[in-house]
């Protein structure tokens, strides 16, 4: 009997290895045999996946009439002659079975069992394949846009499996429409209600790492090593790199001629500002490099508290802090140090005003608190970002806002 007539969907379209498919199908039909005959010990089941043929044979020893003691393993001579006239006593009798011999209800039950078993195998196969690819870069086509996620078809495999890109794993500024090609990394694979769900990410640090590997051959060839990546997705990233070959400048290699290598990555990350810095074991130099593009005047480090006090000229303070404190925050994550930025006293402007001059408008304890974080003048306070000032001084937001208002009014004419 042709297996495809009843089980046609199992010949094509299943991403399961042929030996596994055959083993499962044989097991299903042997179960069918056991239910009807009580045992499958004397039965042969042959599944040919190339042409869809199924063969089931009942094998029994031929004994003289009236001497059958075990109907499962023996058959009377007269019965054997009815199957094939050439049979003689002592031979094995092969009786061919068809699916119809088991009844329609049994066949449908076997079909449902087979569907269930193969679906489970497919799910396990998908789970294992993608688990092995966690951290890999994938490129897929957007198939559906949902409220909290985007579904993407992985074109790189024949699994035709939908991958999930949650909105929270997308970069600010990401906007996709159906049919768009999207790059992301496989962040994790989890089972939901017995089905594998592959979660993607464009905000994970590994995504930037894979993009760099793709654009910089020296990284893929292990000539340049990425020591650490820190990101505020869509805003800023800092990457520490080192070279195993003294002849190669790791920063220059990553940036490329006139920025040719980094520009493509920046576009992919929605204009995320990427700072590439040389890694070094020299903590002072490393912190200095981490604050790029700001130029540091001097650094004082407290190794026990993992804290660094950085002094800069007034025009460099805002660069060191960055928009919304992004630069100093990432520099701290990159180096592992809590970084405090101070205005270099030696660079104090002549037209600046000492904080003590505002004692009539600002409480003395507030002035002392500001001095305690290195802000001795009005402009040294105004040069700090509001959030940075609140964090470092530990003053109430209302107090900080009032101080900034008073100090700013001093320079309104300017």
Contact yes or no for 239/210 (Cβ under 8 A): no
pLDDT tens readout for residues 58-88: 999 999 998 889 888 999 999 999 999 999 9
Tell me: the pLDDT tens digits for 240-250? 999 999 899 99
Q: Which of 276, 198, 280, 278 is nearest to 236 (CA)?
A: 276
**pLDDT tens string 335-390:** 999 999 888 765 544 467 888 888 888 988 999 888 888 788 888 888 888 888 88
Spell out the domains of the chain, with CATH numbers in brackets: 4-128 (3.30.1480.10), 133-203 (2.40.50.140), 206-279 (3.30.300.20), 348-410 (1.10.150.20)
Nearest to 212 by CA among 183, 188, 189, 235: 183
Q: How high is the mean pLDDT of the chain? A: 87
pLDDT in the model for residue 4: 43
Task: Tell me if residue 105 falls in helix, strand or coil.
Answer: helix
Question: Residue 184 and residue 26: Cα distance in Å, rounded?
Answer: 41
Specify the pTM. 0.67
Q: How far apart are CA 54 and CA 30, in angstroms?
A: 12
CA 355 to chain centre: 51
Q: Residue 156: is its pLDDT beyond 80?
A: no
pLDDT at 224 over 90: yes
What six digits make up the tokens of 183?
A: 């790059």
Query: What pLDDT sits at residue 124?
Result: 85
User: CA–CA distance from 267 to each of 15, 208, 235 (Å)?
Assistant: 36, 12, 12
Rounded Cα distance, 117 and 161, in Å: 19
* Per-residue pLDDT at 371: 84
- Whose tokens are 């190339």? That residue is 50
Q: What is the pLDDT of residue 27?
A: 87
Mean pLDDT of 14-22: 70
Averaged pLDDT for residues 140-164: 86
pLDDT of 14 strictly over 70: no
Among the ranges given (193-197, 239-243, 264-268, 305-309), the one the predictor scored with the smallest mean pLDDT: 193-197
pLDDT in tens, 262-287: 999 999 999 999 999 999 999 999 99
Closest-CA residue to 220 (of 253, 265, 187, 267):
253
DSSP assignment string, 170-197: SPTT----TT-EEEEEEEEEEEETTEEE
Q: Report the percentage of the chain scoring pLDDT > 90.
A: 49
């Amino acid at each position: 009997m042709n297996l495809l007539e009843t089980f046609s969907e199992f010949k094509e379209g299943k991403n399961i290895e042929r030996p596994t498919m055959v083993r499962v199908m044989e097991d299903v039909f042997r179960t069918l045999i056991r239910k009807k005959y009580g045992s499958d010990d004397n039965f042969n089941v042959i599944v040919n996946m190339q042409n869809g043929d199924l063969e089931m044979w009942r094998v029994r020893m031929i004994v003289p009439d009236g001497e059958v003691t075990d109907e499962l393993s023996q058959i009377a001579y007269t019965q054997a002659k009815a199957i094939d006239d050439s049979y003689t006593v002592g031979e094995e009798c092969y009786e061919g079975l068809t699916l119809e011999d088991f009844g329609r209800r049994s066949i449908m039950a076997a079909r449902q069992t087979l569907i269930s078993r193969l679906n489970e195998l497919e799910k396990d196969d998908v789970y294992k394949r993608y688990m092995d690819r966690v951290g890999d870069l994938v490129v897929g086509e957007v198939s559906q846009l949902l409220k909290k996620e985007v579904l993407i078809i992985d074109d790189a495999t024949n699994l035709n499996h939908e991958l999930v890109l949650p909105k929270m794993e997308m970069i600010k500024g990401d906007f996709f429409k159906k049919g768009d090609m999207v790059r992301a990394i496989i962040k994790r694979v989890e089972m939901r209600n017995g089905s594998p769900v592959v979660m993607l990410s464009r905000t994970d640090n590994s995504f930037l790492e894979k993009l760099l590997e793709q654009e910089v051959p020296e990284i893929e060839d292990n000539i340049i090593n990425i020591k650490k990546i820190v990101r505020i997705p869509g805003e800023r990233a800092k990457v520490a790199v080192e070279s195993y070959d003294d002849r190669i400048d790791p920063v220059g290699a990553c940036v490329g001629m006139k920025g040719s290598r980094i520009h493509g990555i920046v576009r992919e990350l929605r204009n995320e500002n990427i700072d590439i810095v040389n890694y070094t074991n020299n903590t002072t130099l490393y912190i200095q490099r981490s604050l790029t593009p700001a130029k540091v005047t001097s650094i004082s480090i407290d190794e026990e508290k993992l804290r660094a006090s950085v002094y800069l000229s007034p025009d460099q303070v805002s660069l060191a802090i960055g928009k919304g404190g992004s630069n100093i925050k990432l520099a701290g994550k990159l180096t592992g140090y809590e970084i405090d930025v101070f205005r270099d006293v030696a660079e104090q402007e002549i037209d600046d005003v000492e904080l003590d001059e505002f004692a009539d408008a600002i409480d003395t304890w507030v002035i002392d608190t500001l001095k305690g974080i290195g802000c001795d003048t009005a402009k040294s306070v105004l040069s700090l970002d509001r959030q940075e000032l609140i964090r470092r001084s530990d003053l109430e937001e209302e107090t900080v806002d009032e101080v900034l208002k008073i100090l700013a009014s001093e320079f309104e004419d300017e």
